[in-house]
Chains A and B, each alone.
Chain A
Amino acid sequence: MKKVLTTITVLLLLLLTACGGGSTPSGTDSPSTTAAGSESASTGSSGEPVTVVMWSSGRHDYEIYAKPLIDKWNAEHSDIKIDYQIYTENFLQTVEIAAQNNELPDIIMALPQTMVTMLLERGEVASMEPYLTDEERANIDPSMLIEGLNLMNGEIFTHGGGSFAMRLVVNNDILEECGLSGPPKTVDQLIEYAKIVHEKKGSEGVYGFALPMNNPTDALQRGFTSIVTLDGATALNGYDFKQGKYDFSCYKPIMEKLRELWASGAVFPGCESLSIDPLRTQFAAGKIAMYTTYNHSEWGVYTAQFPTDVHWSYEMLPTMDGVIEGSQNMGGGVGWMMLNASKDKDATYKVIQYFGALENRVKFYELGLGMTTDKQVLENAAVPESIGYTPFMAFQPTDKMWPLTPLSMTLEGDEYGQEFAKYIYGFTDDLDSIVTICNDRYNAAYDKSIAEGRDIRRQYPNFNAADPAGTSK
């Protein structure tokens, strides 16, 4: 009996020691099986350095921006080390699960907004008020401060960083070869262009337009949602700030156009299952004339990671009638947030300050990794090569901060993108009933989260898409 137990114990111990073995302060490069990684900052008793763990959902800036920055810091500092971890596809779940199990890092990127809302709701976010310097405070643009986005109960919890808006990406070589001059100004023109490209160059495998419909909601948010608001709709992602409830009817005109585009055959084949990455590789190979997306990734992609000879540019999104009556929501302030999980907030804030230092913000901007409204940066930075190459990468007056839509609800059923896709693909002709289904589904979820005290009704009776911040106070 004794022998049995001893043997089992010995075996278990062997296994445990084989995979245990203390923490690894050296960061992500040592092939250790113990994850010191997501332990939040803690000072070792014997003067070991503090490790500040950062989680990022951004992937487009790592090689050329974040990595050199971190390497530099870790080489210069012996007391505080940065452990920078990137989670791409599963970022939201990663954070959810980490939060449930008290395994959150010290610093986290404030994107996507769903995650920020979740962390705020759980009370995981630390206020930056006690740490802000006067200089930092002076540089914060009050018009950019929005409750839930960077303020919690009036206290700042994130600042700085780049922002982004939606643009049309155009392969100018293809348009030129097809005798088309200038980017399309209206949606009809866009369809026209796509058809012409397909007519003239379809035999070479070139298509007029592409959409990453692998995730239809995401695909629509990469441009068509913004077209709706540029046309003056008071609803963002279906949420109408004026009415204080979901109303998807403003999507009807653009859906009719998308259906027309789809039926024309000028859309890149396989778009139903296409995600943005393969779409970009095909664009770089000169197979796609136009697509819509965020304005912060393409420069990095097509210069450093996926060099292409294609002469591409960002252009303004077309609108239904060619006139901009509203504005588009600017994804705001991709900054860093400090979490309460951090055991050494002073050290943690030093790292945030390092990333937020003017010199580094300028570098971020000059590398063409994001657009900025930051006055300090604009004054100190040279015009980035990227903006020289494609001017519409820069901030435009129609890029505005919109209030937050409800985010803490549990939807029963598909998202609106899936529903509208049925119409776009021609599976159903009944657009009205899709709008009704979406309205009912989203409003039921929203009403429920209000009833449960998780959200408030966000209604601004005077809301105007041309001045979203001013009319939502």
Chain B
Amino acid sequence: MKKKITPVKLLINIVKWAFLLAIMAFTVYPVIYAALGSVKSNFELTLGGGGVLPDKWMFSNYVTAFKANNFGRYTINSLILSAMVTALALITASMAGYVFARREFPGKRIILMTYTSMMFISLGSVTLFPLYSLLKAIGLTKNLFGMALIMTGGQIASVFLIMGFVRSIPRELDEAAYIDGCSLFKVYYMIILPTIRPILAVVLLFSFRMSWNDYITPLVMSIGTENLRTLTVAVVELKYSMQAAAEWHIMLAGASIALIPILIVYLFTHKQFIAGLTAGAVKG
């Protein structure tokens, strides 16, 4: 049964696509502006106006960002930090999620209740102050590992996601191995981990996104240790740039450097990103 295209339908379609295209333009425009602006000269940017494309393609902005503004180090910092947070999140949340899903133990109820309630309580940046003192007490303020521990945190949402996923796996699969005398960790490692890969991909993407993009935690945690700054912190710092006059071209080059890795990751994995959010929404 082929539908006929009536004028009304055509009009609806036009309105629909006009709306979708407008929303799409709204979402990508700032990114395109940043990308093209990053190869414009500062003069062209501060003067404003001009064409969409640069008058002169200034790829040297990136060279300046890396050389004069130490972006090489900040990029490496961001990469190491994100890798550590992601690894910590995957390991700790998957073990906890598995245990919550499969084991009964004293204190489970109260622990789960605390986890749930903490999802809704936020004290904002206040928490960073005692956490910094805590890191200081165990001597971890001078490296990225301490920062990674703080940013990993309780991973409450990830724990619940993994818990839900493990529950959907038939019990027989891992129970048998455990009764056969395998240790709990071996069951987790040999049977559970390979099975829950899809949800681990989601946790990976979300913890990477969070750690790559977060601004306030690394800002506060790198106060006093300039060489722990991450890319986000360094880019925003350009607003108060070393030279007293704002250098918009370097700022946009920095912004682009900060956006590119995550955009590449997204390009290959946007289906998982969306699947992850979907899973989160369903579970609440």
Contacts and interface: CB of A to CB of B under 8 A. Distances in A.
B143 A35 contact: yes
Given A16-B145, A103-B224, A31 B84 contact: no
Interface in B115-147: 132-133, 136, 141-145
Interface string B218-262: 010001111110000000010111111111100000000000000
Contacts of B191: none
B143 A31 contact: no
Contact of B145 (A15, A37, A281, A282): A15
B276 to A, nearest CB: 24
A19 to B, nearest CB: 5
Given A34-B143, A101-B132, A305-B243, A15 B227 contact: no
B237 A89 contact: yes
**Most A CB atoms within 10 A — which of B76, B224, B241?**
B224
A1 B182 CA distance: 11
A33 B143 contact: yes
21 contacts: A1-B185, A11-B87, A19-B143, A28-B70, A31-B77, A34-B142, A35-B225, A39-B142, A60-B244, A62-B242, A63-B242, A85-B226, A89-B239, A90-B223, A101-B132, A101-B141, A103-B141, A282-B46, A285-B46, A297-B244, A305-B243
B91 A11 contact: yes
A277 B246 contact: yes
A35 B244 contact: no
B246 A281 contact: yes
Contacts of A278: 246
Interface of B: 42, 46-47, 70, 72-73, 76-77, 80, 84, 87-88, 91, 132-133, 136, 141-145, 148, 183-186, 219, 223-228, 237, 239-248
A332 interface: no
A87 B80 contact: no
B245 A301 contact: yes
A38 interface: yes
A237 B209 CA distance: 45
Contact of A277 (B144, B226, B228, B244): B244
Nearest to A101: B136
Given A97-B224, A301-B244, 18 more contacts: A3-B183, A11-B91, A15-B88, A19-B144, A31-B72, A33-B76, A35-B225, A59-B241, A59-B243, A59-B244, A60-B243, A62-B242, A85-B226, A89-B240, A101-B132, A285-B47, A300-B244, A304-B243
Given A19-B144, A35-B143, A3 B240 contact: no
A11 B89 CA distance: 13
Interface string A62-84: 11000000000000000000000
Interface string A187-219: 000000000000000000000000000000000
Dominant SS at the A interface?
helix
A306 B227 CA distance: 27
Interface of A: 1, 3-4, 7, 11, 15-16, 18-20, 28, 31-35, 37-39, 59-60, 62-63, 85-90, 93-94, 97-98, 100-101, 103, 276-278, 280-282, 284-285, 297, 300-301, 304-306
A15 B88 CA distance: 9
Contacts of A306: 42, 243, 245
Contacts of A28: 70, 226-227
A11 B42 CA distance: 46
A97 B225 CA distance: 11
B226 A37 contact: yes
B244 A305 contact: yes
A98 B185 CA distance: 42
B224 A98 contact: yes
B227 A32 contact: yes
A20 B143 contact: yes
Given A35-B228, A98-B224, A3 B186 contact: yes
Contacts of A89: 237, 239-240
Contacts of B228: 33, 35
A301 B46 CA distance: 15
B252 to A, nearest CB: 14
A436 B66 CA distance: 52
A425 B185 CA distance: 66
A1 B183 contact: yes
A301 to B, nearest CB: 5
Contacts of B247: 305
Given A28-B70, A33-B76, A15 B87 contact: yes
Contacts of B72: 31
Contacts of B248: 281
Nearest to B84: A15
Contacts of B239: 89, 277
B211 to A, nearest CB: 14
**Most A CB atoms within 10 A — which of B91, B144, B240, B243?**
B243
B240 A4 contact: no
Nearest to B73: A31
A208 to B, nearest CB: 20
A98 B227 contact: no
Given A3-B183, A28-B70, A101-B132, A281 B46 contact: yes
B143 A88 contact: no
B280 to A, nearest CB: 27
Contacts of B225: 35, 37-38, 103
